[in-house]
Amino acid sequence: MNKEIYKNPIFKSNPVTVLVLGICSSLAVTVKLEPACVMALSVIAVTGFSSFIISILRNTIPNRIRIIVQLVVVAMLVILVDQILKAFSYEVSKQLSVFVGLIITNCIVMGRIEAFALGNKPIPSLIDGLANGAGYGLVLVVLAFFRELIGSGTLFGHQIIPLSWYVKNGGFYENNGLFILPPMALILAGLLIWAQRSIQKDLIEK
Amino acid sequence: MDTNKNSYTIIYSTVMVVVVAALLAFVSMTLKDRQQRNIDNETQKTILSSVNLVPDIETAADKSAYVQDQYNKYITPLVFNTKGEKVEGEAFKVNLSEQTKLIKAAEALEGEARAKALENVKLPLFQCKMDDGSIVNIIPVYGAGLWGPIWGYIALQSDNETIYGATFAHKGETPGLGAEIATTHFSKQFEGKKIYEDGVFTSVIIAKGGAKPDTVNEVDAISGGTITSRALETAIRSWVSLYSSFLGQNK
């Protein structure tokens, strides 16, 4: 099997930093690492299984209602993820709130189904979906790492910056509140894209 | 097979919808109990935190069991009407959003009709027997914030006019602004405030620009969260005022 299928989406054609898909949710759920990880897993599950199911059905889907069929499959998976989170991980599902439901509108999901799953066999489609979800998840985790560390001084809720450093305890340090707000996520995503483009010169437009 | 025929398309979509609907209904049924337990547990935690009775929540091995134990140990749920009479019902299951709608509708009326309409409102009350034997009454409040519902619990000391503690929560207020009502540094301000002054109901004023130091019922509003602050003040006023006859009776 072609290794590019799962290697490309992680870095070389990463859905967030190269294709610039799924930006909205990556700004919203990256304040803390824990919800970012859960969101990453949820998206991986949805992209993987939706590509898989659509690929199995690809020869039976009536062309005129193609998009509707895709939407139904994606929506079904998203509702499943949402229900499972509510039942088994209530705290995190509260933090993610509407953004789990909004995976439906995440361009990566429909994008991969249209571009790949409709024309390929189920197993490669599954891998392609999972890899694209993972590419998205990777960016989420990187963003959340910096935002939580600098914005709240914690990682996964554990204090990383020593408490004695803080101004209120007589130290010199203060959390940077800007990192908690969405604009900083956009700036960080921009920096990531910059970093990637300077490594991968062929992405730079002439 | 021709997948472009009308009949094929219609049958295909029908089958698809039925299969998906059945699957989702099945999952929803299976997980419903678990989800409801989570929601109930969350409510119990909020109620208990208004009287500071969940001190070990961060270190407890099984958080939900811990909350459940504490709740069963301290809280007696009751339901009252606006005349201060006990009525049938489970306090825990009273839908605050529906009751708030009833209150809103009643407040639009005048005089007799208003009192009559308010009688239908179910008022849940959580009586908490503290370790020292004193009774703390916990009153729920509910209202519309800037982006969605806001709610909370106000606990009153046994004199029924001094606030023992309070806790607030919200669905989706602006982070860093309105959402600050859910933080302890905001709710801590309510401790020791008085909702009655010389027997007259004054509620709590959430003062924009800061509470005046010589008052007993003012707390600081949230900078940049004026609408949420105001909404919370209204919610507290309209809910707590309905308990007046109960609170007077129990003095």
pTM for the predicted model, two decimal places: 0.75
- The pLDDT, as a whole number, for residue A78 is 92
Q: Are A76 and B20 in contact (CB under 8 A)?
A: yes
* pLDDT confidence of residue B1: 67
B210: left (phi over 0), alpha (psi -120 to 50) or beta: left
What distance in Å separates the CA atoms of residue B56 and residue B58, rounded to the nearest whole number?
Answer: 6
Instruction: Give the range of the structural domain holding residue B221, as residue numbers without chain letter.
Output: 48-249
**Which range is most confident: A77-81, A106-110, B43-47?**
A77-81
Tell me whether residue A108 is exposed, middle or buried, using C-beta atoms within 10 angstroms of its C-beta: 0 to 12, 13 to 18, 19 or more.
Answer: buried
Q: Residue B195 burial (CB < 10 Å; 0-12/13-18/19+)?
A: buried
| Pick among B15, B16, B19 to test the A interface (most A CBs inside 10 A) | B16
Task: Please indicate, yes or no, if residue B64 is contained in any of the structural domains.
Answer: yes
Task: Return the residue in B3, B8, B42 with the most chain A beta carbons within 10 A, the one to mutate for interface testing.
Answer: B3
Instruction: Judge whether B34 lies within some domain.
Output: no
Question: Is B138 part of any domain?
Answer: yes
Q: Pick the residue with more confidence: B23 or B224?
A: B23
Decide if B12 and A61 are in contact by the 8 Å CB cutoff: yes
Structural domain count of chain B: 1
A79: which chain B residues are within 8 Å (Cβ-Cβ)?
24
| Cα A206 to chain centroid, rounded | 29
Q: What is the pLDDT of residue A51?
A: 93
In a domain, residue B97? The reply is yes
Distance from CA of B148 to the nearest CA of A (A): 13
- Whether pLDDT at B16 is above 60: yes
Q: Average pLDDT for residues A6-20, to the nearest whole number?
A: 78
Q: Establish, for the pair of chains A and B, how many residue pairs have beta carbons separated by less than 8 Å.
A: 59
Q: Which two tokens stand for residue B215?
A: 């008052």
For the stretch A129-175, pLDDT in tens is 999 999 889 999 999 999 998 888 888 878 888 888 888 777 788 88
Q: Name the residue of chain B whose CA is nearest to A67's CA.
A: B13
Dihedral angle computed from the Cα positions of residues B26, B28, B33 and B39, in that order, rounded to the nearest 10 degrees:
180
10 Å Cβ neighbour count for A38? 21
A116 in a structural domain: yes
pLDDT recorded at residue A153? 85
* Cβ neighbourhood burial of A197 (10 Å; 0-12, 13-18, 19+): middle
Q: Is residue B11 part of a domain?
A: no
The mean pLDDT of B57-73, rounded to a whole number, is 80
Note whether residue A33 is domain-resident.
yes
Q: Mean pLDDT over all residues of chain A?
A: 86
pLDDT of residue B249: 61
pLDDT for B80 equals 85
Q: Please list every residue in chain A whose beta carbon sits closer than 8 Å to the beta carbon of residue B34.
A: 87-88
What's the pLDDT band for A99 if we cut at 50, 70, 90?
confident
pLDDT at position A125: 92
So what's the pLDDT on residue B19? 95
Residues A175, A163: Cα–Cα separation, whole Å: 11
- Say what the pLDDT of residue A1 is: 58
Tell whether A86 is covered by a domain. yes
Percentage of the residues of chain B whose pLDDT score is greater than 70: 98
Q: Which of A84-88, A135-139, A170-174, B26-30 has the lowest mean pLDDT?
A: A170-174
Residue B14 lies in a domain: no
With 80 as the cut, is the pLDDT of residue A128 above it? yes
pLDDT of residue B250: 59
Q: Is B28 a member of any domain?
A: no
In this prediction, residue A172 carries a pLDDT of: 83
ipTM of the complex: 0.77
**Rounded mean pLDDT of chain B?**
86
Q: Are B243 and B140 in contact (CB under 8 A)?
A: no
> Do the domain assignments include residue A127?
yes
Domain span holding position A59: 8-199
Does some domain include residue A3?
A: no
Angle between helices B6-49 and B63-74 (to 10 degrees): 50
pLDDT tens digit string along B196-213?
887 788 888 888 888 888
Contact B129, B135 (CB under 8 A): yes
- What are the tens digits of pLDDT across the range B114-161? 888 888 888 898 888 888 888 888 999 999 988 889 999 999 988 888
Q: In chain A, how many domains are there? A: 1
- Is residue B182 domain-resident? yes
**Range B4-15 average pLDDT:** 90
Q: What is the mean pLDDT of residues B207-227?
A: 85
pLDDT surpasses 60 at B251? no
Q: How far is CA A159 from CA A7, A154, A156, B63, in A?
A: 34, 4, 9, 21
Per residue, the 3-state secondary structure of chain A, as one string, reads: CCCHHHHCCCCCCCCCCCCCCCHHHHHHCCCCHHHHHHHHHHHHHHHHHHHHHHHHHCCCCCHHHHHHHHHHHHHHHHHHHHHHHHHHCHHHHHHHCHHHHHHHHCHHHHHHHHHCHHHCCHHHHHHHHHHHHHHHHHHHHHHHHHHHHHHHCEECCEECCCHHHEHHHCCCECCCHHHHCHHHHHHHHHHHHHHHHHHCHHHCCC
Chain A contact for B21 (CB, 8 A cutoff): no
